[in-house]
Amino acid sequence: MALKKPLQTILTGVWRARNVRGFSAVPEGRVSSQSSQHLIDLEYQCSAHNYHPIPIVFSQAKGSTIWDPEGNRYVDFLSAYSAVNQGHCHPKIMKALVEQTEKLTLSSRAFYNDRFPVFAERLTSMFGYDMVLPMNTGAEGVETALKLARKWGYLKKKIPRDELFFFGGPRENLLEAIIVSCCGCFHGRTLAAISMSCDNEATRGFWPLLPGHLKIDFGDHRPLRKYLKKGDQIAGFLFEPIQGEAGVIIPPDGYLKTVRELCSKYNILMIADEIQSGLARSGRILACDWENVRPDVVILGKALGGGVLPVSAVLADKDVMLCIQPGEHGSTFGGNPLASAVAIASLDVIINERLPERSDKLGEELRQQLLKIQQQFPDLIKEVRGKGLFNAVELNSKALLPVTAYDLCLKLKERGILAKPTHDSIIRLTPPLTISLDELREGSKALQDVLEHDLAKMKKEKPNAPSHTASNTCDRCGRNLYGSS
């Protein structure tokens, strides 16, 4: 198919930018002396079983390509949950890492270092906020935003403390400053973050959850209006502009604008978790840019560290950020010079390689390819959705039974494509934003081949598994969030 002109221009720019020694080098033969199976067994034996990985061992990676220890090649369609938007081992990011490693790696914020102020200036000017608070992982960024919102709530909004607050919901969640969040959201794995979660696996056995929290439906104007207007005690509304872990759920047009209007009207901090949706993933630098909406607080993570180091950041204006005083919050590694140097390079790559535009155009291309597959298998594919290269294929779980999205991902892996399911019936497709058109087509072709050539055999061979309908019902809100027709 002939390339559309603007896409061609973007790609030419990226090919030129990639023409740096090392980025396109291909390993030959074995890349590691230990076999994949040995390493998988070793991890199973010595590491906690807190993940259920697809059995492929990454040994080397460049751009969108992964090699396992045996030298087999794969195309990455997960990007480490969008932490590798710039592509694996991007030469400019690696150069920044190596140069900084040789000079200084950690000062702690007990002292100043000569990289963090430069990173802080770069980030705040790029996103148009007064200040940044640096952390490491995304979950820490979320924790920071929650603490900031509570502090702002008491100091600036003058939320009364120890008063009982009653919305008609469960009382134990409704004392003091309240944070509202959305059903289906994912904000990380700390206790505060899982307190927002509708994921039974993430919360069961870890109670009691954090109080001061209220959940409402995502993407629906009505509960938002209903609850925020009674918002004297609400400090913040925390949300993902596009819900990633829930299966790339895109709110209806106008939703983000309504959130902005209501938060402004009722003096509630609009807190956008852009850890996964931000930094060009959705085809805009922030997913909130799709509606030209400016949140009060933005949380960044993942691709801020260019797939190299954990770097997260909370952005806000002085009125909010200065509610936190010295000694009240921080992290030994937050704002370290190595992370700062890497983050500056990661931002440079996003801008210089025009990754938002690239993600936008390639995302359209990918969805065109996926929609054609849906036309071929209308009973199997319920929906293709996405923005930019933030995409999901939702399968009809009944038509698929007893096969699951996880099983399909195993077959995709055999065909050289690495993707991960969310829930039983959704495959998320989020390749590095530097992926080539040919690699993108490899991904779609593999999915088509799995449905056309592998699925019937898989159904015959897999014993009927018990239905998972019960576990789809949220323990907390009672909704069946991930049920499929």
Decide if 64 contacts 435 (C-beta within 8 A).
Answer: yes
Spatial strand order of the sheet with 297-300 comes to 131-135, 312-316, 297-300, 269-273, 234-239, 178-182, 213-216
| Binding status of residue 357 toward ligand PLP by CB under 6 A | no
Q: Which of 134, 138, 212, 388 binds ligand PLP (CB under 6 A)?
A: 138
424 binds ligand PLP (CB under 6 A): no
> Would strands 269-273 and 297-300 be described as parallel, antiparallel, or unpaired?
parallel
* Contacts for 38 with CB less than 8 Å, ≥ 6 apart: none
> Shortest gap between Cβ of 3 and ligand PLP (angstroms)?
32
Contact flag: residue 81 with ligand PLP (CB under 6 A): yes
The CB-of-128 to ligand PLP minimum distance in angstroms stands at 21
C-alpha distances out from residue 79 to 134, 137, 278, 460, Å: 23, 16, 14, 32
Nearest to 310 by CA among 128, 81, 109, 36: 81
Catalytic residue of the set 273, 296, 360, 407: 273
Q: Residue 391, interface with ligand PLP (CB under 6 A)?
A: no
Query: Which segment (134-142, 215-223, 363-371, 447-455) binds ligand PLP by CB under 6 A?
Result: 134-142
Residue 188 sits in the site that holds ligand PLP (CB under 6 A): yes
* CA gap 107, 195 in Å, rounded: 33
Mention every residue, 6+ apart, whose C-beta is less than 8 A from residue 251: 218, 219, 241, 242
95-100: list long-range contacts, CB under 8 Å, 24+ apart: 95/345, 96/341, 96/342, 96/344, 96/345, 97/308, 97/309, 97/338, 97/341, 97/342, 97/345, 99/341, 100/337, 100/338, 100/341, 100/342
Residue nearest ligand PLP, Cβ-based: 138
Among 186, 237, 239, 390, the one annotated catalytic? 186
Closer CB to ligand PLP, 403 or 427, in the complex: 427
Q: Minimum Å distance from CB 18 to ligand PLP?
A: 27
The binder of ligand PLP chosen from 151, 187, 281, 361 (CB under 6 A): 187
Catalytic residue (choose from 151, 157, 215, 302): 302
Query: Is 186 assigned a catalytic role?
Result: yes
- Given the structure tokens 């509610």, which residue do they identify? 323
Contact segment (CB under 6 A) with ligand PLP among 147-155, 237-245, 338-346, 366-374 equals: 237-245
Q: Where are the alpha helices (DSSP H) in 156-241?
A: 191-194, 200-203, 221-228
Q: Does 186 bind ligand PLP (CB under 6 A)?
A: yes
Does the protein bind ligand PLP through residue 338 (CB under 6 A)?
no
Dist. CA 116–CA 54, nearest whole Å: 37
Least separation, in Å, of the C-beta of 122 and ligand PLP?
A: 21
Nearest distance from C-beta of residue 72 to ligand PLP, angstroms: 27
CB of 438 to ligand PLP, least distance (A): 28
For residue 13, count other CB atoms closer than 10 A to its CB: 15
Q: Which of 176, 273, 357, 365 binds ligand PLP (CB under 6 A)?
A: 273
Q: How far apart are CA 120 and CA 132, in angstroms?
A: 6
State which of positions 283-312 bind ligand PLP (CB under 6 A): 301
Site for ligand PLP contains 339 (CB under 6 A): no
For position 335 contacting ligand PLP by CB under 6 A, the verdict is no
- To the query of whether residue 273 is one of the catalytic residues in this protein, the response is yes
Residues with active-site annotation:
186, 273, 302
Q: Point out which residues bind ligand PLP (CB under 6 A).
A: 81, 137-139, 142, 186-188, 240, 244-245, 273, 275-276, 301
